Structure 1
Amino acid sequence: MEAPLGAGAREALTFRPARADDAAAAAPLVFASGEREFGFFLGVAPQACIAFLQYAFALSAGRFSWRRHRVVVNAVGQVVGVLAAHDGRDILPDDPHIAWTLMRYFGVWRTVPMLLRGLVLEQELPKPKRSQTLVAHCAVAAATRGQGVFSALFGDAQQAAMRGFSTGGSQEQGSREILLDVLVSNTRAAALYRRLGFVDVPRRRPPSRRLPAELESIRMRFDPSKTRR
């Protein structure tokens, strides 16, 4: 479990919207946020996954774009944490965009099975509804884990949301439901999310038989009254 950041440690960090030139630093973190999921979806080696995510992060649109992310930067300018927010009102172009991006990067014949696996994965990790914002790609550099960096990044993202961080730019964040997904096996991350105020959403149907058992996930909903300090 993360310990809260001290005042001095927090002052050494900078929280800001991601930029296209963060792609090389952010892509390994985005991959680390869901290594098993990306491995299943793309069906390529880890380094090839990271290379694709670097390409997609630098694009100006899509679910992997820098425009969807915030980052935390340490005192020497290194990106050490990343987080994405997918506003349910702004995701309509995501499916055609990811299909186009995959075809452009991998080619048509390799893209088709990726999209089919993506449909299976989406049953387990459904897209947010219009009234929801899905937090995703949550990761911090290995050397900073357990130091409160992600908790601070999540708190910054909450404040940024009130200023219109989501691509929709809405100021009505108080009425929106904030969700995230975590693997059942990732008990450490789930414990952190519960401390931040996330609670489990009851499962409505069993996992798809075509989904590897290791990708079974828990959907969680943010409840400010459950936040533990």
Structure 2
Amino acid sequence: MYVIEPERAEKGALHRGCETAMLRFRDARPEDAQACAPLIFASGVREFRFFFGEPVGSCFDFLAFAFASKFGRFSYRRHRVAVTQDDRIAAVLALQDGHKTWLDDPHIALMLTMFFGLRRTPRMLLRGLVLESELPAPKSSQTLIAHCATRHTMRGKGVFSALFMDTVSAGLIAGGDKRQIVLDVLVSNTRAYDLYRRLGFVELPRRTAASPRLPHELESVRMQFRG
């Protein structure tokens, strides 16, 4: 058993390598909205449930609606995807450049109002302020990696890692001293935390206490890519 196990691990690694080698990586497109919306929701189920306070189907519909827009944090223009040989979305991530996010809050307020109406939107915006105290917008010197998710049938196969490293190698995000690459992860999401550690992220010290209005399960840590 102890002799065979390394061989199994090696074969597993080779199998994962073959699967990721068959992926293509590209910028997201408006027509990816229906495929990407559930993945974006899966990237932060607890956060989105708290923010929207709506049934899951309504959350999917809004995310698809916002994804098809040219502007805002949910726009297809902010997203990259990994695509299988049969053109199915395998994974997604968003790049939130701190230089370009200053209009995101008014834009999301507009999109929410257009989709959910004037009666439901104010409560979402108030919850959004609480959430943003824990998940702040990126500084002008930062690029925030967000909406990180892999299709459930392809998890554990290195798909997201391949998408992230392709994004870095393509020069779409630049690290180093002048620009920071950061992301947020729930304290309770140890699997994602361990993945980000393997990719080269390190935890940053917490600077403020969590808001008393924030549910305990939404406590997060911010991590920075060191390569």
Tell me the TM-score normalised to structure 2 length.
0.91
Percent identical across equivalent pairs?
A: 57
2:64 is matched with 54
What letter corresponds to residue 189 of structure 1 in structure 2? Answer: A
2:210 is matched with 207
Q: Equivalent of 1:24, from 34, 54, 72? A: 34
CA distance in 2: counterparts of 1:205 and 1:4, whole angstroms? 44
Q: CA deviation at 1:80?
A: 1.1
Report the RMSD for the aligned CA atoms in angstroms: 1.5
Pick closer, same or farther for the CA change 1:120–1:5 going to 2, 3 Å.
farther
Deviation per CA, 1:12-34: give whole Å up to 9, x if none: 10100000000000000000000
Task: Tell me how many residue pairs correspond in the alignment.
Answer: 215
What letter corresponds to residue 218 of structure 1 in structure 2? Answer: V
Aligned partners of 1:43 and 1:114 also within 8 Å: yes
Q: Equivalent of 1:89, from 89, 96, 99? A: 99
1:227 is matched with none
Task: Indicate yes or no: 2:224 matched with 1:221.
Answer: yes
CA distance in 1: counterparts of 2:157 and 2:108, whole angstroms? 34
Task: Report the structure number with the largest CA radius of gyration.
Answer: 2
Aligned partners of 2:39 and 2:151 also within 8 Å: yes
What letter corresponds to residue 114 of structure 1 in structure 2? Answer: M
Alignment of structure 1 residues 127-142 onto 2, 5 Å: 127-142=137-152
CA distance in 1: counterparts of 2:61 and 2:123, whole angstroms? 19
Aligned partners of 1:4 and 1:148 also within 8 Å: no
**DSSP 3-state at the match of 2:34:** helix
Tell me the TM-score normalised to structure 1 length.
0.90
What letter corresponds to residue 225 of structure 2 in structure 1? Answer: F
Pick closer, same or farther for the CA change 1:112–1:157 going to 2, 3 Å.
same
Alignment of structure 1 residues 58-73 onto 2, 5 Å: 58-73=68-83
**DSSP 3-state at the match of 1:133:** strand
Aligned partners of 2:20 and 2:158 also within 8 Å: no
Q: CA deviation at 1:205?
A: 1.5
Pick closer, same or farther for the CA change 1:173–1:201 going to 2, 3 Å.
closer
Q: Equivalent of 2:184, from 181, 186, 196? A: 181
Aligned partners of 1:3 and 1:146 also within 8 Å: no
2:114 is matched with 104
Q: Which runs of 5+ in 2 are unaligned?
A: 1-11
